[in-house]
Amino acid sequence: MSFTDYLDVSQMDELGRLDSPIHRLDARVKALTTAAFIVAVMSFPRYDVSALMPFFLYPVALMARGRIPARCILRKLLVVAPLALAVGILNPWLDRRVVMTIGTHAVTGGWLSLASIALRSALTVSAALSLVACTGMHRLCAGLEQLGLPRVFVVQMQLLYRYLFVVAEEGLRMRRAAELRSLGRSTLRLRTYAALVGHLLLRSLDRAQRVHQAMVARGFEGHIRVLRPTRVRAADLAFLAGWVAFFVVARNWNLARWLGALVTGDGA
């Protein structure tokens, strides 16, 4: 399975065209709700782990109500996971202060901060991917532009989303061609990769020129157009208010600890 199989942009576009209660919500409302979710998740102290667990309810609810296959989101999380772990991989050796004990085992702050980084990454990335899958990148970018984001930024984000995977697939084809022409010899050399990157840059520039000419020929003026303008309804406001209220409660009270105490009877 290749890298582009994990980042299958066509599958995300197909999911964005589904019809579900989440898909029918206004893109601006979903974007604001997800932004509030990310702010709440990233505002936790570095040692908080259990308090983050209730926040999984949001991306899970989006996937369930939006009929998004969990496998689609999990496969893309696997691509981001190494980057998140690389950020805090040295924490267990840099922070050896014991902050809690589990039975006879002492847990240092470094391990807790590493777990917190992994959880935050999984939460924010899964929420962002679920947002794209339940909205579609075109509708999402149009909603962001309506919210007041600079048009240049929104258009560049949409083009990056659309053609990053095209360039990645082109690079994989070039590498496969180099391996077939090597007659079994190793191609893992700096000179080989330097040549491949140079040719990939030239091909990308040439393709970008052709894409721009095709877009101009079809009337593109730097503005994202939508066939059916949307408006905010009562259901959209209820979605936003309900989830933001949940984020505020989960941010200020450790719901996981409270539920655990309720189940075990320790809070009595």
Q: How far apart are CA 57 and CA 255, in angstroms?
A: 12
Q: From the CA atom positions of the chain, what is the Rg in Å?
A: 23
Give domain limits for the chain.
1-149+231-258, 150-221
How many C-beta atoms surround the C-beta of residue 124 within 10 A? 19
Q: How far apart are CA 147 and CA 153, in angstroms?
A: 13
pLDDT digits (tens, 9 = 90+) for 111-135: 888 888 999 999 999 999 999 999 9
Least confident among 50-54, 65-69, 191-195, 210-214: 191-195
pLDDT in the model for residue 61: 95
Least confident among 47-61, 104-118, 164-178: 164-178
pLDDT in the model for residue 227: 63
Torsion sign across C-alpha atoms 238, 24, 151, 154: positive
Average pLDDT over residues 173-197: 72
* CA distance to 44, 89, 105, 118, 126, per residue, from 96 (Å): 20, 13, 13, 19, 30
Higher pLDDT, 65 or 17: 65
pLDDT above 70 covers what percent of the chain?
A: 89
pLDDT in the model for residue 120: 93
Helix ranges restricted to H, 134-233: 137-146, 151-181, 190-217
Torsion on CA atoms 172, 176, 182, 186, rounded to nearest 10: 60
Closest CA to 41 of 56, 29, 28, 60: 56
Least confident among 22-36, 56-70, 160-174: 160-174
* CA distance to 76, 152, 197, per residue, from 173 (Å): 21, 31, 12
For residue 268, pLDDT beyond 50: no
Q: Do 29 and 239 meet the contact criterion of CB atoms below 8 Å apart?
A: yes
pLDDT in the model for residue 39: 96
The model's confidence at residue 255, banded by pLDDT at 50, 70 and 90, is confident
How many C-beta atoms surround the C-beta of residue 99 within 10 A? 14
pLDDT in the model for residue 266: 64
pLDDT digits (tens, 9 = 90+) for 199-216: 888 888 888 888 878 888
pLDDT in the model for residue 206: 85
pLDDT in the model for residue 122: 92
pLDDT in the model for residue 83: 84
Q: What is the mean pLDDT of the chain?
A: 83
Q: Do 110 and 132 meet the contact criterion of CB atoms below 8 Å apart?
A: no
Q: 102 phi and psi, to 5 degrees? A: -115, 100
Average pLDDT over residues 102-112: 80
Least confident among 64-73, 109-118, 172-181: 172-181
For residue 25, pLDDT beyond 50: yes
pLDDT in the model for residue 229: 66
Q: Do 41 and 58 meet the contact criterion of CB atoms below 8 Å apart?
A: no
pTM, entire model? 0.81
Higher pLDDT, 254 or 171: 254
Q: Do 223 and 15 meet the contact criterion of CB atoms below 8 Å apart?
A: no
Q: How far apart are CA 130 and CA 136, in angstroms?
A: 10
